[in-house]
Amino acid sequence: MPILSLITFLPIIGVILILSIDSKKQELIRVTSLLVSIVVFFISLPLYFNFDARAYEMQFVEKLPWIPSFGINYYVGIDGVSLFLILLTTFITPLSILASWHITKSIKEYMISMLVLETGMIGVFVSLDLFLFYVFWELMLIPMYLLIGIWGGPRRIYAAVKFFLYTMAGSVFMLLAIIALYFLNYRATGEYTFNLLEFYRLNISFAVQFWLFLAFALAFAIKVPMFPFHTWLPDAHVEAPTAGSVILAGVLLKMGTYGFVRFCLPLFPEASHVFIPVISWMAIVGIIYGALVSMAQDDLKKLVAYSSVSHLGFVMLGIFAFNIQGIEGGITQMINHGLSTGALFLIVGMLYERRHTRMIADFGGLTKQIPVFATFFMIVTLSSIGLPGLNGFVGEFLILVGTFKTRILYASLATSGIILAAVYMLWMFQRVMFHEITHEENKTLKDMNKREWAILLPIVVMIFWIGIYPNSFLRKMDASVNHLLKQVGDKANIVSNAQIHNKSEQLQENATPKIDIVPESKTEW
């Protein structure tokens, strides 16, 4: 069964369904889109269960000619890196739709945008043909742009246009780099193709790698966003509707980090090595800067938005540690950030629905009034800080282990980010939830309703699951990440890393035997 195509295009079928519904039947539209996204989620589950953790090769592969005259194929498949990002996408989308229940303005167009967005996001993660990838990459811009621009806050137009222009500006250079790769590959092999796996085998001279790396990295760095390309993010997050923020933080930002792992590292290994200091310092500045700016915010949503800059800095640092802990930590942290920050945006949205304000000063003492909500909020806050036993810890720990092994200075600086995170998150929680109730309006707040339970409970379950038993996720990545490292050419590192990795696994009370890496016959570097 072409399961990847099914989950990619099922949302589009949902769009056609919704188009046929009269726009006055709002409830029916909501339910239909929710059902579609839930079905997509359930169809995507077999990806996890049937995924062969021992293989590094692409799995669930589908390949059809699309534009033969250019050698463009509809070519999709996943490995241990993309698997979880796809699951994250199919997991977050129904929750976001559920969180949009209160929206009444042009609900039909809204739900259509959400579903098109889901197609675009999944498409980005499954594409193995660079042309196809680029099409999905740009495709998901349009619905997100509409979500921010139509259903957003007061400065929504500014934010939406900025979001679109920034992303577009970065990605057009990537398009040129893709075309350049296409001709490089033709010169080397005599075959016109956009097949990523073919490109992996290319031997590119360093000078060319340097420029191509820059072109790809710009697109991804804007998307992540890395300091100093982050300025679109606070605007987009603050103005977007709750579901928009959740998807933006949960999935869209991951496309940047995913892009580094999938494209920059294996395609341009030498250039990537050269750029380690640059990227790492940008990441570190992002970690500390994001944390400091978060601390100064008096708007909850802005605080969470800037904390994303900090968290994504960790992910980038991990990826550019070039060892298995760093990269696996980075991937895990992508998922964690999607869950925790997604949940934080949902929580801020719930508060906003109740009080129509997001100012920290307008709250205070909510614990007494809404204890269940407070509990959920607490768990999510702690997960975002990285409390052991919750998901955030696993990712950050692995990233720091990976970084320590290569560059102690980077790791020490980054650690300060964790401390700062504890400061701004806990301080925020304290100001919002503890103390006395100072505003009369807060005395009549209602606790969580069933819909909100349904939104937050799955996320909290995942937070605990990853925190307590991370190996159910990590072991699916091992083969792919090891293969990636091999491609990048850090063979010497792998051996020693594997040992330490085993130790770190034992720390997590896991004794799964280490999977043998299938030796690859073709290694160019």
Partner 1 sequence: MTNASVMTFNILSILPILVLSGFGMIVLVTDLVSSRKLGDKNYLAYISLLGIIIAAILSRNSVGTTLFSFSESFAIDNYSLFFNFIFLLSTGLTILISHSYIKREEINHGEYYALLLFSTIGMMLMASGADLLNIYIGLEVMSISIYILTGFKRSKLISNEAALKYFLLGAFATGFLLYGIAIIYGTTGSINLKQIACFIEGKGGALDPLLLMGMGLIIIGLGFKVASVPFHAWVPDVYEGAPTSITAFMSVGPKAAAFAAFLRIFMTAFGSTHYEWQKIIFVLAVLTMTLGNVVAIAQTNIKRMLAYSSIAHAGYLLIALVAANNMGVSGTLFYILAYIFMNIGAFAIVIVLSQKGDEFIQINDYAGLGYKRPLLAIAMTLFMLSMAGVPPMAGFVGKFYIFSAAIKSGYVGLAVIGVINSVISVYYYLRITVIMYMKEPTREFTPLTISPLIVAAIVISVIGTLQLGIFPSKFMEIAQHSILSLK
Residues that bind partner 1 (CB under 8 A): 66-70, 106, 109, 131, 134-135, 138-139, 141-142, 145-146, 149-150, 156-157, 160-161, 164-165, 168-169, 172-173, 175-176, 179-180, 182-183
Nearer to partner 1, 80 or 123 (CB): 123
Name every residue whose Cβ is closer than 8 Å to that of residue 201 and which is 6 or more positions away in sequence.
522, 524
d(CA 31, CA 350): 20
CB of 368 to partner 1, least distance (A): 41
Nearer to partner 1, 21 or 142 (CB): 142
Amino acid at 246: V
Q: How is residue 363 annotated by DSSP?
A: -
| 3-state DSSP percent of the chain in helix, strand and coil, to 5 | 75, 5, 20
CB of 181 to partner 1, least distance (A): 10
Question: 345, 242 in Cβ contact below 8 A?
Answer: yes
Nearer to partner 1, 67 or 457 (CB): 67
d(CA 318, CA 401): 9
Whether residue 458 is preceded by a cis peptide bond, meaning omega within 30 degrees of 0, is no
CB of 211 to partner 1, least distance (A): 9
Nearer to partner 1, 155 or 443 (CB): 155
CB of 267 to partner 1, least distance (A): 17
CB of 215 to partner 1, least distance (A): 9
CB of 96 to partner 1, least distance (A): 20
Nearer to partner 1, 165 or 457 (CB): 165
Nearer to partner 1, 154 or 519 (CB): 154
Length of the chain: 525
Q: Tokens 């998150």 sit at which residue? A: 425
CB of 309 to partner 1, least distance (A): 23
d(CA 62, CA 59): 9
Nearer to partner 1, 175 or 518 (CB): 175
Question: 419, 396 in Cβ contact below 8 A?
Answer: no
DSSP string, 140-170: THHHHHHHHHHHS-TTHHHHHHHHHHHHHHH
Task: Name the token pair of 315.
Answer: 């992910």
